[in-house]
Structure 1
Amino acid sequence: MTTKIVFPLKRLGAVAPRNAAEIEDSNWFLGCETLDRDYADFDQYKEYLCPLGIKYLRFQGGWAKTEKEQGVYDWRWLDHIIEESVGRGLKPWLQTGYGNPVYPGAGGENLGAGMPLSETGLAAYERWVGKMAARYADKVFDWEVWNEPNFGDNKVNTPEITADFNIRTARIIKEIQPGARISALALGHIDIDYVERFFQYLHGHDACGLFHNVTYHDYSYNPDGNKLAVYKMRQIVEKYAPGLILRQGENGAPSEGNAGGALADYNWSELSQAKWDVRRMLENLGNDIQCSVFSIAEMQYTGNGPVQKKNAKGLLKTDAGNKVTGCKLAYYAVQNVTAVFDNTLERIKDASYTHSLAEGDGNRYWISTDRSIAVYGYRHRETKKRVYTIWKDDAIPGDDCEMTFLDFAFAGGGFEDPVLVDMITGSVYEIPAAQWSREGTIDRFRRIPVYDAPVLIAERSLIPIAR
């Protein structure tokens, strides 16, 4: 990718990455999936985990990889992953899937292959879940039930069957680990009727309290394009399980076109992937949704699953043998997000601001009603200093970086030394005195460059800067 992102401002430095050990907590999770099917190699990418700045890692439990012969459990592969992760100060989030073909009616071992439905299959599944929960009870505190129950062969299951499956799984884990944080549903795409019936069943069986959060996966070409569906889903969750946390449990974009998996039929690049990932992360943060980035490394899909090509959504490049060959632009862009947005910041709900086209800007199309921008505000919990995220949100991220210059006014901003930050490159720029003023409690910024990836107007003290 040769496109250069140019800001007409003085560069002060770049965002300094923060190791996961330096961050107490944050909104972010990281996908480390498919190790159960050997589509990726944990040892090849483990050294890249902590520098990314995300503490929670999503893994699949891999029943078929662990119990290849009925009643014989070989945990060594998963022991290694869990122990390495915990030893590095990271926190595994372990999913109880997939199925196991060594038992009749116990489901399949690939994405969308179907969950256990027979009495024999369910009994064997429950034994495995119980043994896994007991084995890792002092290392794993976050769990998730079956992946994407409304996808592929799982479509034969009703929402009620899926809800019952979630309940029986959660009860096994809770019996062993009462304080477990369990994710419900892991919906493959947002299906409002499915969500409604699922939660009706949980509520009717007094089982909503078993779960800490509800997860969904939504691969939309425009990362900002699923707000209405998420809003409808949130309304249903609040109706039946008030206070249940919403988590986007798996989402990302490829770095090349015609690759395997979701969103493949678009001409992606490393730049548009980085824009997609950062926009989705910050859109989720701005709407109080936890966010898991899929995934740490490219995955080489083989076998009998529905995907037969490399899945290029990884932040790291890999070869056919799953060896890491380098970092993509998205890896560094995600580092920029994690370095700034942790639990020391709180969202400013209903942040008050106005914006308008800067005088003399040539991009007159911006006035048209089919263009929009996203703006979210945050403040430091102690100092109350602020940071605002801004980007064009109306289209699929592209490879051009055409800037539109806008004027902004923020109520109660209280800025003392504001800077502009580009979240793709991490570059930090000076906002000259001629482009910033205060009128009472209103901070006004003039000719701020905005494009289809997030920029920040931030108090300088909130940005870790490396020169």
Structure 2
Amino acid sequence: MRNQINVLCHFLLLWVVSSCTHTPVSEGRVKTNLAVPYEAIGVLSPKSIHEVKNDLTLGCEVLDRDYADYHQYKEYIVPLGLKKIRLQAGWAKTEKIKGVYDFAWLDSIINDAVGHGIKIWLQASYGNPIYEGGGTPYLKGGWPTSEEGKTAWNRWVEAMALHYKGKVYEWEIWNEPDINKEQIKDYKSLTDLNIRTAEIIKRIEPDAKIAALALAFADAEFLEKCMQDFKERGKLELFDWISYHQYVFRPEDVYPKVEKMRQVIQKYSDHIKLWQGENGAPSKGYMGGALGAYQWSEVSQAKWALRRMLGDHGRDIATGIFSIADMNYGGNDAIKKKNVKGLLETNEQNQVVRAKVVYYAVQHLASVFDLLQHSVDVHRFEVKTDYPYSLFAYQDEKSELQSFLIWYDEATPTNFNQPTPVDVEVAGGKFKNPVWVDLLTGKVYKIPAGDISKHGDKYCFSNLPVYDSPIMVVDQSLIKYE
């Protein structure tokens, strides 16, 4: 009996520790100079992946090249609230001797993640220089071109699919092939790579879902060439998504290009969807990787992440954030400086220094994301302002109460946090006790009764503070805060 009590106490202790790890909730967790003329009543409570239903993706890439260390940051994943991670499988790290596959490094990651209830999205890439014409292990290095390289790639994919059968059900093929401007001229070699890889995976794991292409750019013209080739070869059914990245300074600038991509996909398939597979902004200016040429801060990084994720989701695009931790790129790769798009700051040894503002902002978003599943027609909303804005609205399935998100979207996110009030009228609005939530800081504010009115079937909000980071108006009963 004593042993049973000891075991029970042990598991209770583990539960308490795991529940509290890296989820501090206090007014000072994220501080900005945002001034809101409302009474603050609390801060959003974080939710772990075990408390949410979302399918948001967290980037955990570059482990194949040791630019980050999963085991240094893994304890931050579950409390963040994003249920899926994107990994790169690292052919060159797995097969250092021809025909000998050592998955131990990747096993330690996937087994740990799956054991914590995290879903895996596994990307097959990059090349392997032990084979003539096998490509390189680096970004922009090019995929296998020789017959020996292609055959070796096929064998590795088969071995990997067999090894992770029953653990990995979602896959992606190669990363940003279109940044290799010479090789991409032969686009049929890329479609062939995608088809061969998908067929191997599907043969071993028939229930697998696969994202094709993983394009760096939202290029509808190039996509059409690939889709046409997939169609001519009768292979469209192999794929469930077309994944893409397309980094832009102002998040909303991407959507005209993405809409053209969607139109191309719909021309060829009624089942393939879009997946924004990799995107994020730096926390410092003029560092390595995309979007470096801007004077970023942790605040503007966090605003960018919220705007891109919510903008994607509001347009029915699968989405996520890149990346969990800062990345110490090596001199042989296409990126020469440290890539500081991480939600976590790391040192040169890949150890976590601290969580950045963006970590908490994404955590706030994850805590309310399950409320954003049933959209409301935004044409029912009239916003009285002279500034460009984004707005998305949703309705809770059970209570039928509505919520909406709004932010100014005229420019790249800034450090300026002074809100400008707007009036919002909602035809057929269904609100009971709405509160104002700043997703950046997580703070929850009471909207004064004098700023809320109803005229016929219109629900009116007067002097609603809006700035260049998403705020949410939601019923107090639908959120958890403390």
TM class, shorter-chain normalised? over 0.9
Name the structure where helix makes up a greater proportion of residues. Answer: 2
Q: Which runs of structure 2 are paired with 1:118-267 in the superposition (5 Å)?
A: 118-152=146-180, 155-267=183-295
Q: Is the 8 A contact 1:115 1:154 kept in 2?
A: no
Which of 326, 339, 364 matches 1:336?
364
Structure 2 residue 36 is the aligned partner of structure 1 residue 20: no
> Could you say what the CA RMSD is over the residues aligned between the two structures, in angstroms?
1.3
Deviation (angstroms), 1:36: 0.2
Q: Which amino acid aligns with 1:162?
A: L
Which of 2, 8, 12 matches 2:37?
8
Post-superposition CA distance 1:432-457 (Å, at most 9, x none): 11001122321100000000000011
Structure 2 residue 414 is the aligned partner of structure 1 residue 385: no
Deviation (angstroms), 1:191: 1.7
Post-superposition CA distance 1:119-139 (Å, at most 9, x none): 100000000000100110111
What SS class does the counterpart of residue 342 from structure 1 fall into? helix
Counterparts of 1:278 and 1:100, CA distance in 2: 36
Post-superposition CA distance 1:75-125 (Å, at most 9, x none): 100010000000010011000000100001111100010001111000000
Which portions of structure 1, spanning 4 or more consecutive aligned residues, are displaced by more than 4 angstroms? none
Which of 109, 127, 130 matches 2:137?
109
Counterparts of 1:324 and 1:271, CA distance in 2: 19
TM-score, normalised via structure 2 length: 0.92
Q: Is the 8 A contact 1:97 1:145 kept in 2?
A: yes
Counterparts of 1:270 and 1:387, CA distance in 2: 27
Which of 57, 76, 80 matches 1:48?
76
Structure 2 residue 60 is the aligned partner of structure 1 residue 32: yes
- Residues paired across the two proteins, number: 453
Alignment partner, residue 120 of structure 2: 92
Q: Which runs of structure 2 are paired with 1:429-448 in the superposition (5 Å)?
A: 429-448=445-464
Which of 411, 418, 422 matches 1:406?
422
What SS class does the counterpart of residue 426 from structure 2 fall into? strand
Counterparts of 1:338 and 1:119, CA distance in 2: 45
Post-superposition CA distance 1:125-179 (Å, at most 9, x none): 0000001001101111110001111013664442222112111110000000000
Counterparts of 2:376 and 2:136, CA distance in 1: 45
Q: Which amino acid aligns with 2:136?
A: G
Counterparts of 2:420 and 2:112, CA distance in 1: 46
Q: Is the 8 A contact 2:378 2:391 kept in 1?
A: no
Counterparts of 2:218 and 2:191, CA distance in 1: 16
Q: Is the 8 A contact 1:113 1:154 kept in 2?
A: no
Q: Which amino acid aligns with 1:389?
A: L
Structure 2 residue 441 is the aligned partner of structure 1 residue 425: yes
What SS class does the counterpart of residue 177 from structure 2 fall into? coil
Q: Is the 8 A contact 2:172 2:212 kept in 1?
A: yes
Alignment partner, residue 361 of structure 1: none
Which deviates more from structure 2 when the two are superposed, residues 2-11 or residues 318-327?
2-11
Structure 2 residue 389 is the aligned partner of structure 1 residue 373: yes
Q: Which runs of structure 2 are paired with 1:236-315 in the superposition (5 Å)?
A: 236-315=264-343
Q: Which amino acid aligns with 2:355?
A: C
Q: Which amino acid aligns with 2:251?
A: P
Q: Which amino acid aligns with 2:350?
A: N
Alignment partner, residue 105 of structure 2: 77
Alignment partner, residue 456 of structure 1: 472
Q: Is the 8 A contact 2:283 2:340 kept in 1?
A: yes
Deviation (angstroms), 1:351: 4.7
Counterparts of 1:184 and 1:430, CA distance in 2: 46
Counterparts of 2:372 and 2:464, CA distance in 1: 26
Q: Which amino acid aligns with 1:448?
A: L
Q: Is the 8 A contact 1:414 1:441 kept in 2?
A: no
Counterparts of 2:458 and 2:253, CA distance in 1: 31
Q: Is the 8 A contact 2:371 2:394 kept in 1?
A: no
Which deviates more from structure 2 when the two are superposed, residues 318-327 or residues 157-166?
157-166
Q: Is the 8 A contact 2:191 2:229 kept in 1?
A: yes
Where does structure 2 lack aligned partners over 5 or more consecutive residues?
1-29
Which deviates more from structure 2 when the two are superposed, residues 419-428 or residues 376-385?
376-385
Counterparts of 1:220 and 1:29, CA distance in 2: 19
Counterparts of 1:231 and 1:94, CA distance in 2: 26
Deviation (angstroms), 1:402: 2.0
Change (3 A) 1:2 1:384: closer
Counterparts of 2:394 and 2:413, CA distance in 1: 24
Deviation (angstroms), 1:403: 1.2
Which of 50, 73, 96 matches 1:68?
96
Post-superposition CA distance 1:225-276 (Å, at most 9, x none): 1111011010001111123121100000000011100001100000000000
Counterparts of 1:130 and 1:349, CA distance in 2: 46
Q: Is the 8 A contact 2:407 2:469 kept in 1?
A: yes
Deviation (angstroms), 1:15: 0.8
Q: Is the 8 A contact 2:276 2:320 kept in 1?
A: yes
TM-score, normalised via structure 1 length: 0.95
Alignment partner, residue 363 of structure 1: none
Deviation (angstroms), 1:294: 0.3
Post-superposition CA distance 1:298-331 (Å, at most 9, x none): 0000141111111000000000000000000000
What SS class does the counterpart of residue 261 from structure 2 fall into? helix
What SS class does the counterpart of residue 271 from structure 1 fall into? helix
Where does structure 1 lack aligned partners over 5 or more consecutive residues?
358-366
Counterparts of 1:349 and 1:29, CA distance in 2: 26
Q: Which amino acid aligns with 1:184?
A: A
Change (3 A) 1:132 1:331: same
